[in-house]
């Protein structure tokens, strides 16, 4: 049994509350993300309710009678003229399928990259974070349901081209651009164009995704994607059906595809009391990661807080998260974390060889980094991740 390490440092009330601030903001939901709240970047941008633009999508097949089949995600929605798919942001217009959210984000923020959460990507840097309305899941625990379950005509949207996104990321000294908050692959065309422009400027293109995307579009995205944090919400099809209205198999396929394409990948598992916290399921999930992706993929077990359709549940007990952490380490995973619990020592990155704390965290704040050129400063062991931008 692996024991939770101690940093040997305490936290006073002020530092603890400061670390919790990010979690409280995340839990506040859409009021954070709607225009007018984000000071600075949003001030100089046009804000408008409803559609601002549309972009023809390459990810559809024309069917008879003007119908189309979307090829972006495993739902493969088939729509008549004037109809939209499950995600609410793709519409059949005269037998062609259009994205209604290209260049139309309803959320624009500068976040710590640790909030995505990426723990092995440019620690202590800022990430220019965007989202549009819509999603191809309906997770009962969604913290951003006010925008993920909305249509673009229901939200206030920025008129924000890919060129402007990169320009603002540079202006605010962000090392990465993150597509996040909702399922970002629903605006894949926007993500790809941003990625094309970001790379020559030495800005990473990253996403936090549910992984529910077909292999062809994913392959196109991987050409312009540097890192992906994937929500592996559970390890059974029943859980996915009950809790997300999606399916598990395509998510597992996405994770393997990302690894084959050498896209840096981290995994988040939100541990929900009575839903996916069975110790045997946690071990099964950990064994799958070990066997299919390898021991060095970072895995975050995150604390659930009552939200959306699961407000009757209690927050995840700390002991449950610690058991999950220990189980994953016992299985053989090298980089395991506890999330949404600021100040817990399992937020830290440990060197698997010598046990040294190579990155010390409190919430979204980095207290200390003990690495040289991506290697442990103590023993020289390589720590996987993106530690500088080429």
Q: What's the CA gap between 37 and 91, in Å, rounded?
A: 29
pLDDT in tens, 264-318: 999 999 999 999 999 999 999 999 999 999 999 999 999 999 999 999 999 999 9
- Which tokens in the block code for residue 316? 């995840």
Q: What's the CA gap between 166 and 204, in Å, rounded?
A: 10
CATH number of the 13-39+107-330 domain:
3.20.20.70
Q: What are phi and psi of 41, to 5 degrees?
A: -60, -45
- Say if residues 176 and 121 touch (Cβ distance below 8 Å): yes
Q: List Cα–Cα distances, 293 to 107, 255, 263, 283, in angstroms.
A: 32, 8, 12, 15
Look up tokens 């500088």; give the residue: 388
382 or 53, greater pLDDT: 382
- Say if residues 233 and 268 touch (Cβ distance below 8 Å): no
Residue 193 has pLDDT above 70, yes or no: yes
Q: What's the CA gap between 293 and 289, in Å, rounded?
A: 5
Helices 188-198 and 162-171: crossing angle in degrees, nearest 10, is 50
- Say if residues 229 and 206 touch (Cβ distance below 8 Å): yes
**Which H/E stretch holds residue 197?**
helix 188-198
Q: What's the CA gap between 314 and 367, in Å, rounded?
A: 30
User: 3-class SS at 61?
Assistant: strand
Task: Give the strands of the sheet with 365-369, arranged side by side.
Answer: 349-350, 357-362, 365-369
Q: What's the CA gap between 205 and 299, in Å, rounded?
A: 20
Q: What's the CA gap between 214 and 210, in Å, rounded?
A: 12
Residue 41 has pLDDT above 80, yes or no: no
Residue 198 has pLDDT above 50, yes or no: yes
The residues of the chain that CATH labels 3.20.20.70 are 13-39+107-330
- CA-wise closest residue to 183 among 142, 243, 141: 142
Residue 33 has pLDDT above 60, yes or no: no
pLDDT category of residue 18 using cuts at 50, 70 and 90: very low
pTM above 0.75, yes or no: yes
Mean pLDDT of the chain: 90
- Which tokens in the block code for residue 310? 């699961």
pLDDT at 4 (0 to 100): 61
Q: 90 has which bridge partners?
A: 99
Q: What's the CA gap between 92 and 79, in Å, rounded?
A: 6
């Amino acid at each position: 049994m692996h024991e939770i390490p101690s940093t040997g440092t305490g936290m006073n009330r002020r530092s603890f509350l400061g670390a919790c601030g990010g979690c409280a903001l995340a839990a506040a939901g859409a009021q954070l993300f709607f225009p007018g709240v984000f000071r600075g970047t949003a001030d100089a941008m046009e804000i408008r309710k409803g559609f601002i633009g549309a972009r023809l999508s390459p990810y559809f097949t024309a069917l008879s009678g003007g119908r189309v089949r979307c090829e972006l995600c495993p739902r493969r929605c088939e729509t008549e003229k004037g109809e939209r798919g499950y995600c609410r942001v793709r519409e059949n217009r005269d037998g062609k399928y259009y994205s209604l959210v290209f260049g139309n984000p309803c959320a624009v923020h500068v976040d710590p990259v640790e909030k995505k959460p990426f723990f092995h990507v440019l620690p202590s840097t800022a990430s220019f974070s965007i989202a549009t309305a819509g999603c191809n899941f309906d997770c009962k625990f969604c913290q951003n349901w006010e925008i993920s379950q909305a249509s673009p005509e229901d939200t206030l949207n920025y008129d924000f081209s890919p060129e402007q996104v990169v320009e603002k990321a540079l202006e605010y000294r962000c090392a990465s651009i993150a597509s996040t908050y909702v399922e970002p692959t629903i605006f894949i065309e926007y993500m790809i164009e941003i990625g094309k422009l970001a790379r020559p400027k030495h800005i990473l293109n990253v996403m936090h995704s549910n992984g529910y995307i077909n292999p062809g579009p994913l392959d196109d995205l991987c050409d312009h994607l540097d890192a992906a944090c994937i929500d592996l919400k559970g390890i059974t099809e029943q859980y996915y059906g009950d809790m997300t209205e999606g399916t598990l198999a395509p998510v597992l396929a996405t994770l393997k595809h990302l690894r084959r394409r050498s896209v840096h990948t981290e995994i988040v598992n939100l541990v929900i009391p009575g839903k996916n916290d069975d110790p045997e399921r946690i071990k099964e999930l950990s064994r799958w990661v070990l066997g299919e992706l390898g021991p060095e993929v970072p895995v975050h077990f995150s604390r659930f807080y009552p939200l959306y359709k699961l407000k009757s549940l209690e927050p995840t007990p700390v002991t449950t998260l610690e058991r999950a952490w220990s189980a994953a380490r016992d299985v053989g995973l090298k980089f395991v974390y506890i999330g949404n619990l600021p100040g817990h020592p399992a937020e830290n990155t440990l060197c698997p060889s010598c046990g040294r704390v190579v990155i010390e965290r409190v919430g979204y704040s980095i207290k200390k980094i003990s690495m040289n050129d991506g290697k442990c400063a103590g023993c020289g062991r390589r720590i996987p991740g993106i530690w500088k931008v080429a």
